[in-house]
Structure 1
């Protein structure tokens, strides 16, 4: 595990303690399968899929469903057929449908249909652990209720949908321990309808969604002033959840200062580390908010159900090419057209997604029931956790950072054990426990709760 910095104390502790534990698997080396996946992501195919989605004129949730060339019905049937074609039987592709009732943004009962492509996990102990990645294929223009006029939605969100389709087609050729779900959702513009239905059903069925990404507005590397930033993406990650009544989990995070160690923040650390490792020169900027200021996306229904969920979005949105009727005013073109997309940039964001998903799906689950022993007053920190069930576990490592740091700064592999002690104070550092397999795949960290 590579770190940008170390404190002198943490480095000294790790060096002194390392001789007491078994040799750690090499977690810094590139996994060949991940390198292949990242290398196969194609900007040209992404562009082709975006242009095809735009060709349906409008993909408004209440638009035409019978035509084969216009409207959201044609779009979802095409997405499904493409996933089936490129999945070649390895992807299980299906429609996930429900009827949305009349509401503020739905004028009549409307069928909302997600396209869901599932790549089942290959390891018996991990296949029930699921990672979901989505983009929304519906579109809109200035009037949220206008289901007739053109709404090309090249960036919002054909960009995210095309990225998810490309990931599905590339990754379907490989095997992973855990299950991957590639999803094109509908109804986002009308109130996150498709994502909310899927998240509610998953929660009701007890589906173990260990992480969810949504890719929404990842199409442009240019802002409204013409400035270009093609080397970074924003990753929005919630800290404390928004709750009507504070849960025991949230109270524990607050009482121990763990506001920056929620499930989503731990997931974001993994995405940043692996994305930047496998896509060199590209930065994942973790934004410590659930979404843009007072705005939302399809990850939010998953957050509301207690799942770890993140949002990818371009560095700076150009609002003249988002939620706008097609027009030209004073020589300026408005509207969400393909010519304002940067297809190479979208491919880079897709590569970060794919690297994160592949490393998550081949890594062990994050350790369960991680606790810090607090019965004794001492300056050392003693941990205990539950053993993972995967057969290829090599062991566990403690990771830590100073209280003001966002990312892990140091680590110590402690072997295939279920308890360990380190000569650092729980009062001064934040800790996590990661599971490591024999190939060097590391899980996201689990935050320790107090054991009295």
Structure 2
């Protein structure tokens, strides 16, 4: 593991001490309740179907009842923290290939405002809608336990746990609709973030995070996959041309969030590691992180190490001795609790840290490299990192450590051979992900850059 691993864990501990000084155990992993996660998934399954085109008015069955229940859970968490959560329900009328007639689409969102820089936002999300084999079947039972009752329960649990603490920047907890019909809930929230003028630091999309065995019997409960894009979805022709010449294919903000979360995992628990998948999503498929990437917001997807296709997007049935359907009985709740703890830790670390800088590296026709960046709000110091162009991770030690300057001259470092990056450090030691000094490496939409 690279040096950022230990720094991030130390930063997390420092930030949680600052946020909850009465806590003897700063990470408080026991706060994540496996029993609550299971109960929440069972409640979601109890709505029968949560298909986007199902009833919005039935008090017990359908997407409307499920959304209202999720909203009530957020409001209960808010009451428990002295009304620290602002609950909003962005909505729109939507139609598309899988929505033949316009339908009212609603996301349920809880906002925990930061105490210092409330416009800096980290988002955790999962989708509440479900489906069976026929994506247009809005009436059959569609339990959606793992896809994505697991992600919805994770978001609700993260809100319960983290709303008891305070952070300098904002955490947004989002339960999305319309994913199975075309990622509409993700687009709705991404557009809402843009309308609010949020500076989005990271989006953690959790979709299918509650199982550990595949349909072929292969099991893995010690890894979670984190998907991240390579070339940026919002890249301009200018950015793409610059990346082809000077590098950047492996240093999107999402890719460096993936490295950050992977480095954090070992300090959270010793039986769950991140398997970084360097794709924006699974082959031939998609998730609600994609609309954020298209707007230039850093986003990654968490999903199980191995998917079970017999118990995903399937009618409830037994056929040739095989049971099908996304039911609670196929879930692994100890595994879901582990993934939830990792998300909680990542959210706490990101919400405590400053934004990553937007560094520039200049090494043309000289035997040294100059790295420069602008001051970052909330940062008191910066680390400068390097890795060889064919290396996957940043080196174990920064080449410049804890500098209060906004630039560094790296004597003898011939920049052609290296990728350089910079992280920002808060007064309590909380450290941001590394932003790479390459075309498209900055953690902001490319449309906002000059």
Give the drift of 1:201: 3.0
* Number of aligned residue pairs: 424
Native 8 Å contact 2:223 2:274 kept in 1: yes
Equivalence for 1:250: 240
Equivalence for 1:381: 369
Native 8 Å contact 1:276 1:352 kept in 2: no
Q: Give the whole-Å Cα distance in 2 for the aligned partners of 1:25 and 1:237.
A: 19
**1:154-303 alignment runs, 5 A limit:** 154-242=145-233, 246-303=236-293
Stretches of structure 2 that go unaligned for 5 or more consecutive residues are: 18-25, 440-450
Q: Give the whole-Å Cα distance in 1 for the aligned partners of 2:94 and 2:394.
A: 43
Give the drift of 1:430: 1.2
Give the drift of 1:87: 2.0
Native 8 Å contact 1:130 1:179 kept in 2: yes
Q: What secondary structure, in the 3-state scheme, does the structure 1 residue paired with 2:373 have? A: strand
Equivalence for 1:18: none
Equivalence for 1:31: 14
Native 8 Å contact 1:216 1:313 kept in 2: yes
Q: When the two structures are superposed, what TM-score results if normalisation uses the length of structure 1?
A: 0.89
Q: Give the whole-Å Cα distance in 1 for the aligned partners of 2:271 and 2:310.
A: 29
Equivalence for 1:40: 31
Change (3 A) 1:43 1:25: closer
Q: Which moves more between the two structures, 66-75 or 28-37?
A: 28-37
Change (3 A) 1:367 1:242: closer
Q: What secondary structure, in the 3-state scheme, does the structure 1 residue paired with 2:435 have? A: coil
Stretches of structure 1 that go unaligned for 5 or more consecutive residues are: 6-23
Give the drift of 1:443: 0.9
Equivalence for 1:11: none
Give the drift of 1:357: 1.0
Is it true that 1:134 corresponds to 2:125 in the alignment? yes
Give the drift of 1:344: 0.8
Give the drift of 1:205: 4.2
Question: Given the alignment, which residue of 298, 311, 317 partners 1:308?
Answer: 298
Give the drift of 1:287: 0.5
Is it true that 1:86 corresponds to 2:77 in the alignment? yes
Deviation digits for residues 372-429 of structure 1 (CA, Å, limit 9, x no counterpart): 2346x32222211111222xx3311111112221111131305200111224221112
Question: Given the alignment, which residue of 397, 412, 437 partners 1:448?
Answer: 437
Deviation digits for residues 262-311 of structure 1 (CA, Å, limit 9, x no counterpart): 11111111111123322323111110000001210000000000111100
Question: Given the alignment, which residue of 412, 415, 418 partners 2:403?
Answer: 415
Change (3 A) 1:247 1:199: farther
Give the drift of 1:26: 9.6
Equivalence for 2:21: none
Give the drift of 1:202: 2.3
Q: Give the whole-Å Cα distance in 1 for the aligned partners of 2:420 and 2:330.
A: 44
**1:62-77 alignment runs, 5 A limit:** 62-77=53-68
Question: Given the alignment, which residue of 81, 100, 105 partners 1:112?
Answer: 105
Equivalence for 2:331: 341
Deviation digits for residues 418-450 of structure 1 (CA, Å, limit 9, x no counterpart): 111224221112110111122221111122258
Equivalence for 1:395: 381
Deviation digits for residues 241-262 of structure 1 (CA, Å, limit 9, x no counterpart): 246x844333333321121111
Native 8 Å contact 1:366 1:446 kept in 2: yes
Equivalence for 1:20: none
Equivalence for 1:355: 345
Q: What secondary structure, in the 3-state scheme, does the structure 2 residue paired with 1:158 have? A: helix
Q: What secondary structure, in the 3-state scheme, does the structure 2 residue paired with 1:367 have? A: coil
Q: Give the whole-Å Cα distance in 2 for the aligned partners of 1:352 and 1:292.
A: 21
Q: What secondary structure, in the 3-state scheme, does the structure 1 residue paired with 2:90 have? A: strand
Is it true that 1:323 corresponds to 2:306 in the alignment? no
Deviation digits for residues 24-79 of structure 1 (CA, Å, limit 9, x no counterpart): 99947833728435331111100000000000000000101212111111100000
Q: What secondary structure, in the 3-state scheme, does the structure 1 residue paired with 2:323 have? A: strand
Question: Given the alignment, which residue of 343, 347, 354 partners 1:364?
Answer: 354
Equivalence for 2:424: 435
